[in-house]
Amino acid sequence: MERTNVRGGGRVLVYDWLRLIATVFVVIGHSAYLSIHTTFGGVEYQLPETINSLYYSGFMTWLRSMAGWVYGFHMPLFFMLSGATFALKPIGTFDNVIRNKFKRLVIPYFVFGWFFMLPVKRLGNFYNNESLKDALKGFLGGLDSGHLWFLTALFWCIVVFTILEKVFSRLKINSMYALLLATGAIHLTYTYLPFNVLGLKKGLSYIFFFAMGYCFEKERDKIVRGLGISISFYIGILIVEVVNHKYDILNDFFVIVCGSAMTYFLSDICAKLFAKVSGQKIWDLMIRNLFYVYLLHDPLEYIVLRIFFDKQLLSSSLGCVMYVLSRTILIFGGAIISGELITLAKGSIKRLMCSDNGLFMARRNKDKCADTFTFSYMAQNQFSVCKAAEGGDAVASLTDNNAADRNAGKPFGEM
């Protein structure tokens, strides 16, 4: 693996660039729609007759066209990226995978869905008071999940993929082709599943793309070697995309493959040409908050739509410019800042809880030492904790060596 593609701690820089570009694509993809309907809500905006001609300018037309292009592959790309990053470390035990992914995916689904997405959509006139109640209930079962469907779908995708990988490992089948065939079979047959819980079928519909990303990472160093190769591949796929835009020669699968591959090679080019950017504070700020951009951006689009259409701001050229900026750059930047504030708040709460818990444990242990200090039968671990509460100087040496000297848990008099 090339040094320009690795950050501290083994982090792969090209995947950071890919996350950034893919997230920008998602924001662009969600910035063009004027109407959308779901089970319990929806919006239907019509362009006013007084709309300014700037709305149909070359750049704004290209931006709307790009949003349509992005929609052809951006979600399979996210599953491929998730599969690739999943392959960076050993999978671990099944229980650990479930706990970790439930915490990272399912809990944010419920928290940000109930307490942010649905209320903000109500402010954007996506729901009225009655339909909001229905949406809150339906959301718990996976209905009206909006853009958050990806979280639960990815969770199920990882669960099923991990089961497959464990089974293959038990059977000593070490073949990425077998893994692709198995996930491909699931991709083609998931519709026959008689039940669907929190986007289970959606996750199974993308599991083949997750496996593609997983297998790609395992072979990445053999495929992508230098800047010249990445540039050549990028130009070649770009030509195919241009031809397809004019003549529509690609089917849906190859649209996904070409769009995803083109985005990857663009990311690899950026990772190699702008390696020093990764050390900048603004870069770290963006990368660590990209997940919050995904969580927060889409409901804000409905607020922007309501403001600009209710106030008829698109009748002026300035209004058209602000409309585009608000639905792209301002929402992206606002989500980055909001994510950072959320992270800081979570850190402060965690430190406060740890501080309170530490104080409680120290008092508890000190009382325990005073009440039950039977020296000859005290376990060494307990003695060390009591000395810590009293401020003993030899605590570190005692606690650090407990496991090493095999005395942990033994009564002190038996040592």
Distance CA 323, CA 305 (A): 8
Going by C-alpha positions, the residue among 78, 86, 77 that lies closest to residue 215 is 86
Give the residue from 288, 377, 271 showing the smallest Cα distance to 5. 271
DSSP-derived pairing of the beta strands 35-37 and 42-44 = antiparallel
Domain residue ranges of the chain, discontinuous segments joined by + = 3-352, 372-414
In order along its 415 residues, the chain shows pLDDT tens digits of 343 455 444 578 999 999 999 999 999 999 999 999 999 999 999 999 899 999 999 999 999 999 999 999 999 999 999 999 999 999 989 999 999 999 999 999 999 999 999 999 999 999 999 999 999 999 999 999 999 999 999 999 999 999 999 999 999 999 999 999 999 999 999 999 999 999 999 999 999 999 999 999 999 888 877 899 999 999 999 999 999 999 999 999 999 999 999 999 999 999 999 988 888 999 999 999 999 999 999 999 999 999 999 999 999 999 999 999 999 999 999 999 999 999 999 889 988 888 766 665 656 665 555 454 433 333 344 333 333 333 343 333 333 333 334 334 333 333 3
Q: Please, are residues 39 and 138 in contact by the beta-carbon 8 Å criterion?
A: yes
Global pTM reads 0.82
With 0-12 CB in 10 A as exposed, 13-18 as middle and 19+ as buried, what is 9? exposed
